[in-house]
Structure 1
Amino acid sequence: MYRKLVGLTAAVAMAANVMGTAAFAADTIKIGDINSYKRLPGHTIPYKNGAVLAVETINAKGGVLGKQLEMISRDDQGKPGEAIKIAEELFTSDEVVMITGSLFSHVGLALASYAGQKKRLYLAAEPLADALVWGKGNRYTFRLRPSTHMQASMLAEIAAENPAKRWATIAPNYAYGKDAVAAFKKALMEKRPDVEFVTEQWPGLFKIDAGAEIQALEASKPEAIYNVTFGGDLAKFVREGALRGLFKDRLVLGLLTGEPEYLDPLKDEAPEGWVVTGYPWYAIEEPAHKAFVEAYQARWDDYPRIGSLVGYNTILSIAAAIEKAGSTETEAMVEAMKGLTLDTPSGSITYRAIDHQSTMGAWVGTTTVKDGKGMMVNWAYKEGANYLPSDEEVRKLRPATD
């Protein structure tokens, strides 16, 4: 009798534990976050901080559909295969309802392919390669950040007004870099058929030999340079280029160069007079953005980077999609993402139904050095919707997957 009683008690305790776990899980909506935290922490850690702030803010207001959001983060090591492995584990073991994040374009493209094959929702927060939503787009993949096409078109608009005809480009030799150069060349030549591209330099990602690249650029005698390097590659390129006088009396455009993640580490060595896309967080006066900056600084005792804003907007997008869907069922969320419109610290954005690209824009301005650090001045916010192809063009670019 005693053994039966002990067994019954254990069974009841086990059942209660299972029920408690199930109840906890039922009150939580899990989001899988995959990013290159160790590979490029200067960008991804601010991204995660922004996302965590959004999760905490939403949960403090009651969550989504009466449930708390939970973000489960994993490091993909900057490797596509690792990212796919993690995605599968997040869905099968952690029971996330969708995945998001990723920084590098080759990783993002791998996750997009996985999402399409497995019919799992993936919101690509940061990968910029155009193919993500066009050539290799699918029903289950959406993107938040303005793509290479969008940001390159913003810069080309300014470049077209400059008399320079001889252009050189330098970009990392992978999907993002190739798309960024192709998009810029196309956009500029449509506005200025008289320009020519005299050289294209393709250093390996984070393997730049800055001296050799600058020598090759100088040898082509360009009147203007379009730079797509970032991170440590950008720092080496800027320092070596300044030392050798590459930038003197030349127009230089920098895709992403004005983002604090890449500009701040240069301190007083930041380039002067480059036309860049970036994030002048310290000078944006819109009330919603100022409230975001204040909340971010209060939470992290630090200032936001562009990654912080992207992380925050990513979670806002997910919460809005789930609310609109009224469910965490994949197909319902996918349908909710199409045409989804929401307010963010960077303004109202919409995820276009035709290609799943958001209309989030970018800031374009000129670099300078103030108080020993790089800053953006004479900047303007460019609405993303104004730099996207027409529906007719998208239909030619994107496979019919919906």
Structure 2
Amino acid sequence: MKPHLFLLAMAGLAAAGLAAPASAQDTIKIGELNSYKSQPAFLDPYKKGLELAVEEVNASGGVLGKKLEVVMRDDGANPGEAVRVAEELVTREGVVAIAGTFLSHIGLAVTNFAGQKKVFFLAAEPLTDKITWQNGNKYTYRLRATTYMQTAMLMPAAIAAKKKKWALVYPNFEYGQSAAENFKALLKKAQPDVEFVTEQAPPLGKVDAGAVAQAIDDAKPDAIFNVLFGPDLTKFVREGNTRGVFKDRVVVSLLSGEPEYLDPLKDEAPVGWIVTGYPWDKITTPEHKAFLAAYQKKYNDYPRLGSIVGYSTIKSMAAGINKAKSTDTDKLVEAFKGLKVDSPFGPFEYRASDHQATMGAFVGKIALEGGKGTMTDFKYVDGASVLPSDEEVKKLRPADAN
């Protein structure tokens, strides 16, 4: 290469090198990882809600005067892969914090990573109580109502049913195990003579629905507590309907009122089940109406519960960074203590005591309208009303978690 051409090329490279950091300085990057390929029913709407929130945050001036950028990765629905991806987001992408995860055991792996590496982590969706209690750490917060919270929301209906013999069915991983243990403990405390006549715990995504439904029917329970979701729920409901397993039995069920899981059932939706969920078309609060209008305008589609979670995750991150007036990890950790966030479900806050958000959930009954499942007789339960006190939390969390 001729000398003058070489010098021109080097000048060009130098200019390119200087340009990249300047651009990066105008952007605040959040890393996001999730099981997009394995859990699309929830996470496709989640991604849409997230992107809508990023658009709104940036249209209103961004955070600290900079554009918010989210770098998204799939975690392979595998704890080891999730940790590798989290490490890559921090070291290669230079994100200031990480957020996301769906499955509870993935969320726990990233919680552990955040604690060891001193990286801020907002667990968006995983429901296991351990994330904010037994395995909690200084650097991890969680958005969505936990298994304990949602089970406690269903407890008044379970107690009011006054049924002695219960069957339990749940996916055999952290979320399902946690939900079943919470349900048994809470119901036993309220109704000491209760009996749990069978527990069916199939592997996640591999339910033999016919065998499970038959085993429950053979145990002759008076009532059923269900924790299955996604395709497992669809298969279980269809087999249960075919065998008459739900006939004349009270069924209390986590998550089954969410459109992600109701929609695939269409007119097979199990009428009368008492559920937590999201009646998107019936909520009339100003906050939700504004969110619904913006979501439908952008996507020409209705939101799912995942849309709410994705949207509120980004709104939380933006609010936390703005309150901290910094992207420094320790300042962000402090800013999230007592952080108040506006959401489509109304305002909520992140508790300083256990880093758990107080965003609640809707509880109601499944009904059929227009040939598809929906929720009726529902009410919104504030998450703060079903959380243990700060004093109780001290016994649940590690001493150094705050």
How does the TM-score come out when normalised to structure 1?
0.98
Residues 330-341 of structure 1: pairs in structure 2 closer than 5 A: 330-341=329-340
- Post-superposition shift, 1:16? 1.9
What stretches of structure 2 of length at least 5 have no aligned partner?
none
Is 1:301 matched up with 2:300?
A: yes
Kindly provide the amino acid, as one letter, of the partner of residue 348 in structure 1. P
Find out whether 1:270 has 2:257 as its counterpart: no
Give the deviation of 1:3 after TM superposition.
4.9
Distance 1:389 1:186 in 2: 14
1:188 partnered with 2:187: yes
Match of 2:76 in 1: 77
Quote the Cα distance in structure 1 between the aligned partners of 2:230 and 2:180.
18
1:319 aligned onto 2:296: no
Q: Say which SS state the counterpart of residue 151 (structure 1) adopts.
A: helix
Residue equivalent to 2:113: 114
Cα deviation for residue 329 of structure 1 reads: 1.0
Question: What root-mean-square deviation, in Å, do the aligned CA atoms of Structure 1 and Structure 2 show?
Answer: 1.1
Task: State how far apart, in whole Å, the 1-side matches of 2:337 and 2:99 are.
Answer: 16
**Partner-residue secondary structure (3-state), 1:389:** coil
Residue in structure 2 matched with residue 242 of structure 1 by the alignment: 241
Separation in 1, partners of 2:151, 2:26: 43
Q: Report matched runs for 1:206-285 at 5 Å.
A: 206-285=205-284
Q: Aligned equivalents of 1:400 and 1:355: distance in 2?
A: 11
> What is the SS of the residue equivalent to 2:356?
coil
Structure 1 residues 44-53 or 194-203, which shifts more? Answer: 194-203
User: Which residue in 2 is equivalent to 1:11?
Assistant: 10
Amino acid in structure 1 at the alignment position of 2:285:
E
Alignment of 1:347-358 (within 5 A): 347-358=346-357
Where does residue 102 of structure 1 map in the other structure? 101
Name the CA distance, whole Å, in 2 between partners of 1:130 and 1:163: 27
The answer to whether the aligner puts 1:168 opposite 2:167 as a matched pair is: yes
Partners in 2 of 1:194 and 1:379 — Cα distance?
A: 29
Helix, strand or coil: the match of 1:186? helix
Partner amino acid for 1:391?
Answer: D
Identity %: 57
**For 2:248, what is the secondary structure of its paired residue?**
coil
Task: Read off the aligned partner of 1:55 and give its amino acid letter.
Answer: V
Partner residue, 2:134: 135
2:21 matched to which residue of 1? 22
Partners of 1:165 and 1:393 lie apart in 2 by 29
Distance 2:231 2:121 in 1: 29
Q: Secondary structure at the match of 1:281?
A: coil
2:55 counterpart letter in structure 1: E
* Inter-partner Cα distance in structure 1 for 2:119 and 2:28: 15
Q: Which amino acid in 1 is paired with 2:199?
A: E
CA drift of 1:94 comes to: 0.7
3-state secondary structure, aligned to 2:302? coil
Mapped to 2, the partners of 1:61 and 1:4 lie a distance apart of 49
Aligned residues: 401
Compute the TM-score of the two structures, normalised by the length of structure 2: 0.98
For 2:11 and 2:156, the matched residues in 1 are separated by 70
After superposition, give the CA deviation of every residue in 1:24-52 in whole Å (9 maximum; x if it has no partner).
10001111110111101111110010000
One-letter amino acid of the structure 2 residue matched with residue 79 of structure 1? N
- Which amino acid in 1 is paired with 2:235? K
> Does the 8 Å contact 1:276/1:365 carry over to 2?
yes
- Asked if 2 retains the 8 angstrom alpha-carbon contact of 1:157 and 1:188, the reply is no
Runs of 5+ unmatched residues, structure 1: none
CA distance in 1, matches of 2:29, 2:162: 53
Q: Give, in angstroms, the shift of residue 185 of structure 1.
A: 1.4
Code of the aligned partner of 1:98: A
Which residue of structure 2 aligns with residue 367 of structure 1?
366
Q: Which amino acid aligns with 2:76?
A: Q
Quote the Cα distance in structure 1 between the aligned partners of 2:85 and 2:177: 27
- For residue 200 of structure 1, report the CA deviation from its aligned partner: 1.1
Give the Å deviation of 1:86.
0.5
How far the C-alpha of 1:300 sits from its partner, in A, is 1.1
* Residue matched to 1:400: 399
Structure 1 stretch displaced more, 387-396 or 354-363: 387-396
Q: Which amino acid in the other structure matches residue 245 of structure 2?
A: L
Tell me by how many angstroms 1:81 deviates: 0.8
Q: Secondary structure at the match of 2:160?
A: coil
Displacement of 1:4: 4.8
How far apart, CA to CA, are the structure 2 residues paired with 1:110 and 1:377?
37
